[in-house]
Homo-oligomer: A and B are copies of this chain.
Amino acid sequence: METQQARLMDGTDLARRITETSAAAAEDIRRRAEVSPCLATVLVGEDPASVTYVRMKQARCAKAGIRSRHVPLPASVSTSGLVETVTALSEDPDVHGILLQHPVGAHIDERAAFEAIAPEKDVDGVTMHSFAAMGFGLPGFVSCTPGGIMRLLDEYDVDLTGKHAVVVGRSPILGKPVGMLLLGRDATVTYCHSRTVGLPAIVREADVLVAAVGRPRFINGADIKPGAVVIDAGYNPGNVGDVDFETARHRASLITPVPGGVGPMTIAVLLEQTVDAAARRLIRP
């Protein structure tokens, strides 16, 4: 039997195109309002992975004509100190979007810090307001990775209405919001997680599978429904996703590679939402 191979969902290319559009929009804002969109990046401590992520985001901002204002804080900062910093950025008219890099340290009330981000500057989509907006289908910013996943699905013309979407993982910035976005697009949505009993049988029902658990090759290709759309939002050490790509690609109709699938979309959506936040403030207030 000849095995089919899934078509790859190219996040690198789509992210590049979205960022080009964002750069043009940022240029338009600069021309009309004489100020560039500005993303504040708040980094607590010096965790190497976090440092790298923030640098990457700043570099991408720069390429897109978005200023970034870096706000490094010592690892010892208190919750109230962090909340104060973020609140000041929320109130600063020169800042259009705020990114608080997490994790922020175990001694800090991360939720309190996130909630200090004004909804209209929550371009990373981490506040309770943004989550509820995603849940209720109201205007607002989306969490970046879920937003990127939805863009990929649209780019590849995946019809979601009535389809069974299975989300494996339930984190507040990935699993939960992507499920809400899929539900808002009329998919039937199942949330699975570490306590789920009988996961393979549920995965086999998925027309659209979103893997967001952070465990390398956790989803076996043999469990994927033939023709399913497979979104791998995992990014584990060694460039390995949550889905066993080599087995999955012979069952899926569309699949995101790791790297080059979901990953690049996250920053693209962050930049796009930063420009949009600036536009709302500066051009169409």
The residues of A with any CB-CB pair to B shorter than 8 Å are 111, 127-129, 131-133, 135-136, 138, 161-164, 170, 172, 176, 179-180, 183, 186, 188-193, 195-198, 202
Contacts and interface: CB of A to CB of B under 8 A. Distances in A.
A29 B132 CA distance: 33
A189 B169 CA distance: 12
A89 to B, nearest CB: 21
B128 A172 contact: no
B188 A188 contact: no
Given A162-B196, A176-B180, A188-B196, 6 more contacts: A111-B136, A131-B131, A136-B172, A136-B176, A186-B195, A188-B190
Given A172-B135, A176-B135, A197 B163 contact: yes
Main secondary structure of the interface of A (DSSP, over half): mixed
B193 A186 contact: yes
Contacts of A186: 193, 195
A162 B111 contact: no
A134 to B, nearest CB: 10
A34 to B, nearest CB: 33
Contacts of A135: 131-132, 135, 172, 176
Nearest to A190: B190
B111 A138 contact: yes
Contact of A190 (B111, B189, B193): B189
The CB with the most chain B CB atoms within 10 A, among A127, A176, A189, is that of: A189
Contact of A188 (B131, B180, B192): B192
The CB with the most chain B CB atoms within 10 A, among A128, A186, A197, A202, is that of: A128
Contacts of A183: 170, 176, 191, 193
Nearest to A160: B195
A162 B197 contact: yes
A176 to B, nearest CB: 6
Contacts of A198: 164
Nearest to A132: B128
10 contacts: A111-B138, A128-B129, A129-B132, A131-B135, A136-B172, A176-B180, A188-B192, A188-B196, A188-B202, A189-B191
Contacts of A192: 188
Contacts of A163: 197
Nearest to A163: B197
A162 B195 contact: yes
Given A190-B188, A202-B188, A195 B161 contact: yes
A195 to B, nearest CB: 4
A194 to B, nearest CB: 8
A219 to B, nearest CB: 15
Contacts of A189: 190-191
